[in-house]
Amino acid sequence: MSARLSWDEYYMGIARAVAVRSSCRRRQVGAIIVVNRAIIATGYNGTPVGVPNCDEGGCARCAGDAAVGAAYDLCLCVHAEQNAVALAARHGSSTDGGWLHCTLRPCFSCVKEIVQAGIRGVVYQDPFPYPLELEDQFDRLVRAARLELRRLSGDEDCPVCGPSCTGWPHRGARNLPPSEG
């Protein structure tokens, strides 16, 4: 019999189930906000309420061929993390001191909003690495805001830091040959 799921694994399983609701044609992402072990909000990425769904042509950027991470300003899709924070606001649930569990590493904008919502930490699963200069800025933001950011340990742990890595590839990874970083 397999070991009982950890809390992190349990919440990630739920975030993965939430992601399946996404109609974004680029990527399905799910996020949940947990306060005192209770899930107070869920979110998946997609166009705002009232705008046609991403897979129905609602977002020109997602329908185009923009590179990963590029042309975000033109994307109408609300990220899963933003949707979870907005849903909590809509329903008057405090996010203060909570944790966000997300299937993908949050982007810069989402980290800023997560911090501003009083969320203490983030556990994510899939990596979303930035080029190294941006990775430095990302790292600086996370540290300055004292956000606890960690990746749920998986098959692809950071080769330098292991599962405790705050980002992947982590700054330590720059010492590796490019093929491994």
Q: Which residues form the interface with Zn ion (CB under 5 A)? A: 24, 54, 59, 61-62, 75, 77, 79, 107, 110
Displacement of CA 110 from its chain's centroid (Å): 7
The encoded tokens of residue 40 equal 């107070």
CA separation for the pair 92, 82 (Å, rounded): 15
Do residues 113 and 146 touch, judged by C-beta distance below 8 A? no
User: Of the two residues 1 and 114, which places its CB atom closer to Zn ion in the complex?
Assistant: 114
- 67 contact partners, CB below 8 Å, separation of at least 6: none
Length of the chain: 181
**Shortest approach of Zn ion to residue 71 CB, angstroms?**
9
Question: Which of 81, 133, 156, 180 is an active site residue?
Answer: 81
**Shortest approach of Zn ion to residue 12 CB, angstroms?**
17
User: Of the two residues 110 and 152, which places its CB atom closer to Zn ion in the complex?
Assistant: 110
Q: Is 81 a catalytic residue?
A: yes
User: Of the two residues 103 and 160, which places its CB atom closer to Zn ion in the complex?
Assistant: 103
User: Of the two residues 35 and 77, which places its CB atom closer to Zn ion in the complex?
Assistant: 77
CA separation for the pair 180, 173 (Å, rounded): 8
Q: Which of 177, 180, 154, 151 is nearest to 165 (CA)?
A: 151
DSSP run (H or E) holding 126: strand 121-126
**Shortest approach of Zn ion to residue 87 CB, angstroms?**
15
Q: What is each CA distance from 12 to 62, 150, 153, in whole angstroms?
A: 25, 13, 11
**Shortest approach of Zn ion to residue 23 CB, angstroms?**
8
List residues with catalytic annotation.
81
